[in-house]
Amino acid sequence: MRAYGYAKVNLALRVRGLRRDGYHELSSLSQSIDLADTVELIDAGVEVDTPGVPTDHSNTALAAVEAVRAAAAGNPAGVRLTKVIPTRAGLAGGSADAAASLALAGEHYDVAAEVLARIAPEIGSDVPFCFVGGTAVVSGRGEIVEPLDPLAGFALGVVVPPIELSTAAVFSAFDNLGPSESPSMGGAALPPALREFGPLENDLYPAAVHVAPGLAEWRAELSSRWGRPVAMSGSGSSLFAFFADLDEASSACDEVPVGSRLSAGCAVVDRGWTIER
């Protein structure tokens, strides 16, 4: 038995002030896409095929399994991760792994879904959305997830430049910079299914560019090549644009600058994870 954890794209991300707990108040239109990591349970520890991913108890997938095991008073287990979602890219790869691990451990230890949902925010801010998945408005620090009807009628071209961004560094830059104008996407630039939510903006984009100026060059180059607006997901560095269908998105992603860590046409999906038995 294995689980697939789907990446998250912030179609829009607004950042408010600091909360008393030290987190920022957020409002995001979040969407799961079919870019997925694979999670399997093993006897102990963490096995992962990608350098730089933690293999100790700071690994969110292992933390999720251990939390479910504790709730069930079961025997210890570990995780094997096969990564496809780039790290430090604003696609919630670690949270996707944690959500898939919650689901898989829930099956293994026979823990109810409502218990898993209560565990999710304890693991990480993006884990509640990744556990629910699909399309949702996310608020608070990420723990409040309001599912929406599934979106359809478009695909995404997703490119991750050769830039790794620390979420903490980007939020720190956001706090230091103060209010800054972010690129806005609305009207006919949006697929019909998204126009009621427009204009879409990511408040963290100026901060991400402050930390990594090369991100602006990648965004401008992609926009020029694709002939359409390009936005950033999360705290970066992933960039995306809307296309009519998966074929068009995939073709566009064949024509990107050399050096990207990922370039893929992606379909939207209506869940955060899938278990394969």
Domain assignment present for 237: yes
- Residue 121 in contact with residue 138, Cβ under 8 Å? no
Residues 244 and 115 in one domain: no
Residues 143 and 214 in one domain: no
Cβ-Cβ contacts under 8 Å for 144 (sequence gap 6 or more): 128, 138
Q: For residue 83, what is the domain's CATH number?
A: 3.30.230.10
Q: What residues form DSSP beta bridges with 108?
A: none
In the listed set 149, 165, 185, which residue is the last one of a domain according to the structure? Answer: 149
Residue 143's pLDDT is what?
96
Residues 6 and 126 in one domain: yes
Residue 235's pLDDT is what?
98
Residues 142 and 176 in one domain: no
CA distance 232 to 230: 7
Q: For residue 168, what is the domain's CATH number?
A: 3.30.70.890
Residues 168 and 145 in one domain: no
pLDDT in tens, the chain (277 residues): 999 999 999 999 999 888 888 889 999 999 999 999 999 999 999 999 999 999 999 999 999 999 999 999 999 999 999 999 999 999 999 999 999 999 999 999 999 999 999 999 999 999 999 999 999 999 999 999 999 999 999 999 999 999 999 999 999 999 999 878 999 999 999 999 999 999 999 999 999 999 999 999 999 999 999 999 999 999 999 999 999 999 999 999 999 999 999 999 999 999 999 999 8
- Residue 159 in contact with residue 236, Cβ under 8 Å? no
Instruction: Return the HEC string of the chain.
Output: CEEEEEEEEEEEEEEEEECCCCCEEEEEEEEEEEEEEEEEEECCCEEECCCCCCCCCCCHHHHHHHHHHHHHCCCCCEEEEECCCCCCCCCCHHHHHHHHHHHHHHHHHCCCHHHHHHHHHHHCCCHHHHHHCCEEEEEECCCEEEECCCCCCCEEEEEECCCCCCHHHHHHHHHHHCCCCCCEECHHHCCHHHHHHCCEEECCHHHHHHHCCHHHHHHHHHHHHHCCCCEECCCCCCEEEEECCHHHHHHHHCCCCCCCCEEEEEEECCCCEEEEC
Residues 229 and 243 in one domain: yes
- What the block records as the tokens of 186 is 């609305």
Residues 191 and 240 in one domain: yes
In the listed set 127, 149, 171, which residue is the last one of a domain according to the structure? Answer: 149
* Terminal Cα-to-Cα distance of the chain (whole angstroms): 5
Domain assignment present for 203: yes
Residues 206 and 244 in one domain: yes
Domain assignment present for 276: no
Residue 22's pLDDT is what?
86
CA distance 227 to 57: 44
- What the block records as the tokens of 224 is 């020029």
Residues 132 and 182 in one domain: no
In the listed set 86, 115, 149, which residue is the last one of a domain according to the structure? Answer: 149
Residues 137 and 173 in one domain: no
Residue 167's pLDDT is what?
95
Domain assignment present for 213: yes
Q: Considering its fold, how many domains does the chain have in total?
A: 2
The residue to which tokens 């999360």 are assigned: 234
pTM: 0.96
Domain assignment present for 275: no
**For residues 84, 225, 181 and 200, what is the CA-based torsion angle, rounded to 10 degrees?**
-60
Residues 180 and 263 in one domain: yes
Q: What residues form DSSP beta bridges with 257?
A: none
Q: Which residues are tagged catalytic?
A: 8, 126
Residues 130 and 177 in one domain: no
Domain assignment present for 274: no
Residue-range definition of the domain harbouring residue 52: 2-149
